[in-house]
Structure 1
């Protein structure tokens, strides 16, 4: 008897009989009795006993190994079912192509055919993915035993690699070619298929936010004209799952706590070359914060003190981020006040009538658990201390799960690692926790090539070499070269984000700038050295303290004939030659645009001052202020922005100041005019070309207010075009400490007095695969006769 797969043997006889029934037995009893009487008797089980086991056909696998797979001992009585199990165990070992079990008396004969060895692996039909890339994906390899199941898994991995590129119709078929000596060639036949583009992304169920607004936050984009450069319009399942989460976060941060994504269906077009993605959502109602209270269950924790740290106010749109930030602040306060194991538990009460959420922050005592140690693995280049700096807890500190989660996010945000997993496990005792950090390094250096164009500086090329994790110390080292038609810049930069192991950022810049602007009759050259320290003073605020040493000079053009084209003031400034300045400066910065209470609004405040006079040739005080406020309105599709900039310059030293020291406004500050197009000018007569000179001289004071509105144009989104309107008002005035020896009592200088210009304009913003383009068309409503207008401005900056 032979088993390909043993299922057992049965033989038996059917017996039936009818017992004598009493006459008064009911019909139901009769039926039951008949059923039992007609049932077959159990089959007699077949059993075997083998004194020896013989294996045939094995070449690489030893006989003892095959016998061990069966699990049958010599002399052991086994049933047919147990033989079947033995057959299955041999087959499941994955090393035999065929298995046959043949009982021969007291001998069990096992006939096997081993899987062949892979001679070589090849790929056919692949063009988009090269052989080397596919070899890295699969697990089958030459000189290993061929496994059909593994080949199928490898085919699935290859198909998945193509689906990531949007080729969902790709098919991969593994085939083998038999060779001598039980060897095979493994061939993966690949049909790549066409890329499936997302022709259209639409939404159903959305009432508050339009399709256009929701499409802007998705990673999946509609097919556009520049899809060669932007490959976000392919349908990828992982990206679609990410987009679902992005939608949830978007609505939840705006108070829609009941939002959900019901489905995301991709409908294939009739030509089967594209899909229509339809996302069905339920928005729900928007909730706001109601009563915000703090209660304490710990005697040492004063609820009023912790209440004072809250920035959330009733009526603000609900956002889980604000709740998390409030918890972080309160737990940080507990650490500073040495209140260990304090936990903040937010308890939410939902008010359906007025659509508010009451939040009660309860201060409770958490488990008495300590951090035993932090184990870091996988960092072959990065030093342990760089990773440990992201933790606010060290060995021996009370364990805080929220703090550990935040530390994990900071580690991932470094950008040094492809993967970073942070997990906790019980330590040497129940009150000890070990934090395991497992990271996977990734390249942190980059070579950037870029191009730029502006009306001011012309065409330019930039080359940058940056290492963000220099020598594994978490430091940033960069060297950038930017050359344009009218300017050149060479800057070497170094950054240490945690100076002396503290949250103290140290920057050091050393550079050379040269300009040869067509808007002036001279060139400039500047060498500078600038170290700076930056530290946080709050969640959204920071202070920078810096020292700047620079040496600069104004030069005539190489062409000697141009020396006579500069007016007497500029000629006197050029005659001063090289001048050095040694300055100490401070800047305070507050920015709530990303972390404020309102995700659609925020503002920026920058106030800075520099004092030069700590040695060098120059002595002055220069102060600047910048205020920015912005908000998204009308379904978050229109962005309005107001910017105010102002500055004051006061010369304190002997001699005269220069144009390089004073403020000169460019189109980035005041649109509608050339660089130096407004403000004091030297218009002394005597220009050899006839008429007057026309040199801009800069000013001691300036103030500019810019108002912008950006909005969609109603064009297909894949074009990447948006419109904008702007209104600028500002002026540059004041001119002291200048050499007027060559002037007729200074009568050749105009624009000293304060005068504000008014400009309106239209902007066309185009997001392209090469970079953002901005076209500005402007018209000066009010200006001075000597101002130099610039009605058109174009800027382009790209990285490739």
Structure 2
């Protein structure tokens, strides 16, 4: 450490000179005393009637005497004096210590360490002072300790190591001040980021290196390496990657998978790492015979066997077994069977590569939950955490339920750390569940930009809070503006209304379009409260009420056809409706990591007040599957909708349009019924009361390094839009009212950048109508910052 004066001049004094030991002085004094002894074999002894302490200012003399441990009149040897010196020096309070026998007086001279005046950190740009100062233990107005300063320097260095800056160096230095005070300065040399140049795998046959790189959190350095935070070498992240790989293979039936080692080689230039995972995959196992058995007379095994979802021949997954166990234990509770535990007994068949699973229902120990203690939640209310437990005080203790509750607490996203443990209670038959959480920020303010070839540039701002007032409620407000449109939205969600698995939502929105792809303006306001609740493990039902305001207006000098003009003359309309949506999502249980299905069906019934009466029906089915060792993603979507309006029928603000969100290859309003020609030579897209679309696409790697985030795709869309209620007011020709199917093929380029996901679509309509408006290229980008 270099000593620096007020003007910045530096001398060749470091921390070690501050530790200038009095050992040499003591040795000279001792040797002088020994030299007077006529017989070398006789040990020198001392008896002191007085002890004089010199040089101490802050430290009391009694404190120094207590460290020395030498009493007046006590006979001591040279070794005792050396021990006294070591104890005083080891206290860490003194820069130097000197013990000198002077006849019957023992003189102890000390030089106290200075007091820290201020602490500063210099040279740090990547990590702020506010983040570094809390990790050091040296403090202002405390005694300076060189040992502690070195430890603090190591702590700061470790903070930089966590960012992948292994070349970082931190040097503590002192600046002398008056009155035995010093300023402690940590000079930081941050160095460059040591990146992961290459991630490789050895021993993997079932899955390619490219697929496994997508599993691990650590990423290779790429073109945008300055913006990517996961391409640096961090040892803790490597440990997490090991667990990710283990879970990945286990969920796919590789029960013998193990990682034999991880090699991290540093390049000669010390600017890059080469990371290699050595793995042994083993064989892939499937379920064999799946059965349920029990020696409890009150258990009907046939009832429980019907609750098991794992089937023979399916790929073995520990997650499936865990979910079956949880399902059987819940069934036991419903059947009134307390303290029943399910033990899976797995029999391995290496020849057939199957695992037979027998779920054995046994009687568990009679242990009850005494209480649930929650600590660490400074903002979140206790009830938000407590409702994640299906267990309450007095219920039978189920370790599996406690583990599942811990996962639900972590999944809330409210806490940076959450630990749930059980310990013995007031008796051996009772347990106390301790929940310790650490809060983290849950609110955010976002500003963003967007661009699309159809809507142009836009800006967006939003506020969201996922734990509003610590009640677990979600609140958000967003504003989005574009060249020809504005949208304002507000949403509120209470996920546990009345303390039950019943979600209450409230949505408010207002949108305006100013001749956006049309010659007319629209204004739409919506008020929509809803309730959502589960009706099975993978199925949920939403019921809602919707009040919607719509206004259709035609600016002066706009040329529109008779249909739109007649609809605009109806003025402002209010629609009041009730509706529901039933959804089934196999992705909720995650039993098959390579595929998932989403099914939705919903209806809205208008006429509960308001100006219109209608029935609106919609359906959607989405299926996704990973094939070719999970390198290629296949996705299929089929959706349809129908509007049935009584009276004057629907308006252009009510009907469906097939833009790029539903069917690629065409501009918004580019297909479907339209009014063309007439006295004003209009060309109005009218939308349709019915539509049906099927989209098929495949996404695959292009052979580029994964860290670039670039992949390719192909797609095929087919769709139809048709149906109008009233065409008598048309002043031109009404085309495509009966509809016809359009077919589009295309290729896509996906680029996942740190600034936002980019998608480039290049399409060609292989079947269309003459008046359709194509859009052969589409670029979408969105970002939040």
Q: Which TM-score applies when normalising by structure 2?
A: 0.90
Partner of 1:593: 587
Change (3 A) 1:580 1:121: same
CA–CA separation in structure 2 for the residues paired with 1:596 and 1:131: 43
Q: What SS does structure 1 have at the residue aligned with 2:227?
A: coil
Partner of 1:582: 576
Q: Which of 690, 693, 699 in structure 1 is aligned with 2:688?
A: 699
Q: What SS does structure 1 have at the residue aligned with 2:201?
A: strand
Q: What SS does structure 2 have at the residue aligned with 1:134?
A: helix
Equivalences for residues 65-76 of structure 1 within 5 A? 65-69=63-67
Partner of 2:678: 686
Change (3 A) 1:126 1:647: closer
Contact 1:481 1:491 in 2 (8 A): yes
Structure 1 stretches of 5 or more lacking a match? 10-42
Name which one, 1 or 2, has greater alpha-carbon Rg: 1
Equivalences for residues 265-414 of structure 1 within 5 A? 265-414=263-412
Change (3 A) 1:54 1:331: farther
CA–CA separation in structure 2 for the residues paired with 1:300 and 1:86: 76
Q: Which of 616, 619, 644 in structure 1 is aligned with 2:613?
A: 619
Q: What SS does structure 2 have at the residue aligned with 1:172?
A: strand
Pairwise CA distance, 1:311:
1.0
Partner of 2:58: 60
CA–CA separation in structure 2 for the residues paired with 1:356 and 1:517: 64
Residue-by-residue CA offset, 1:151-184 (whole Å, 9 max, x unaligned): 1221111101111222111111223344443333
Equivalences for residues 28-47 of structure 1 within 5 A? none
Pairwise CA distance, 1:799:
1.4
Contact 2:207 2:629 in 1 (8 A): yes
Q: What SS does structure 2 have at the residue aligned with 1:332?
A: helix
Equivalences for residues 720-735 of structure 1 within 5 A? 720-735=709-724
CA–CA separation in structure 2 for the residues paired with 1:2 and 1:456: 84
Please tell me whether residue 761 in structure 1 is matched to residue 739 in structure 2.
no
Change (3 A) 1:739 1:243: same
Q: What SS does structure 2 have at the residue aligned with 1:217?
A: coil
Pairwise CA distance, 1:676:
2.2
Change (3 A) 1:775 1:98: same
Partner of 1:797: 782
Q: Which of 497, 500, 503 in structure 2 is aligned with 1:502?
A: 500
Q: What SS does structure 2 have at the residue aligned with 1:561?
A: coil
Equivalences for residues 390-789 of structure 1 within 5 A? 390-557=388-555, 560-562=556-558, 565-593=559-587, 595-651=589-645, 653-683=646-676, 685-688=677-680, 690=681, 693-736=682-725, 738-742=726-730, 748-789=733-774
Residue-by-residue CA offset, 1:225-260 (whole Å, 9 max, x unaligned): 222322222212222222222111111111122222
CA–CA separation in structure 1 for the residues paired with 2:337 and 2:157: 55
Change (3 A) 1:304 1:48: farther
CA–CA separation in structure 1 for the residues paired with 2:66 and 2:321: 61
Q: What SS does structure 1 have at the residue aligned with 2:650?
A: coil
CA–CA separation in structure 1 for the residues paired with 2:26 and 2:348: 66
Pairwise CA distance, 1:79:
8.2
User: Quick check: 127-136 or 585-594, which moved more?
Assistant: 127-136
Partner of 2:20: none
Pairwise CA distance, 1:49:
8.0
Change (3 A) 1:295 1:101: farther
RMSD of aligned alpha carbons: 2.8
Contact 2:195 2:221 in 1 (8 A): yes
Contact 1:656 1:739 in 2 (8 A): no
Contact 1:567 1:687 in 2 (8 A): no
CA–CA separation in structure 2 for the residues paired with 1:657 and 1:790: 27
Change (3 A) 1:556 1:88: same
User: Quick check: 585-594 or 75-84, which moved more?
Assistant: 75-84
CA–CA separation in structure 2 for the residues paired with 1:359 and 1:658: 59
Q: Which TM-score applies when normalising by structure 1?
A: 0.88
CA–CA separation in structure 2 for the residues paired with 1:5 and 1:438: 55
CA–CA separation in structure 1 for the residues paired with 2:415 and 2:447: 23
CA–CA separation in structure 2 for the residues paired with 1:203 and 1:417: 34
Change (3 A) 1:579 1:205: same
CA–CA separation in structure 2 for the residues paired with 1:471 and 1:332: 33
User: Quick check: 545-554 or 360-369, which moved more?
Assistant: 360-369
Change (3 A) 1:179 1:794: closer
Change (3 A) 1:78 1:297: farther
Q: What SS does structure 2 have at the residue aligned with 1:135?
A: helix
Q: What SS does structure 2 have at the residue aligned with 1:761?
A: strand
Partner of 1:15: none
Change (3 A) 1:664 1:131: closer
Residue-by-residue CA offset, 1:124-146 (whole Å, 9 max, x unaligned): 43333344433233111111111
Contact 2:256 2:281 in 1 (8 A): yes
Partner of 1:30: none
Partner of 2:38: none
- Aligned length, in residue pairs: 753
Contact 2:675 2:730 in 1 (8 A): no
CA–CA separation in structure 2 for the residues paired with 1:479 and 1:67: 68
CA–CA separation in structure 1 for the residues paired with 2:147 and 2:297: 64
Q: What SS does structure 2 have at the residue aligned with 1:207?
A: coil
Q: What SS does structure 2 have at the residue aligned with 1:149?
A: helix
Change (3 A) 1:501 1:728: same
Partner of 1:31: none
User: Quick check: 598-607 or 514-523, which moved more?
Assistant: 514-523
Residue-by-residue CA offset, 1:502-549 (whole Å, 9 max, x unaligned): 111111011101123443221111011000101112222211111100
User: Quick check: 125-134 or 323-332, which moved more?
Assistant: 125-134
Partner of 2:184: 186
Equivalences for residues 174-253 of structure 1 within 5 A? 174-253=172-251
CA–CA separation in structure 2 for the residues paired with 1:357 and 1:619: 58
Pairwise CA distance, 1:81:
7.3
Pairwise CA distance, 1:594:
5.2
Structure 2 stretches of 5 or more lacking a match? 1-22, 32-40
CA–CA separation in structure 1 for the residues paired with 2:108 and 2:256: 64
Pairwise CA distance, 1:102:
6.2
CA–CA separation in structure 1 for the residues paired with 2:185 and 2:74: 45
Q: What SS does structure 1 have at the residue aligned with 2:536?
A: coil
CA–CA separation in structure 1 for the residues paired with 2:439 and 2:474: 16
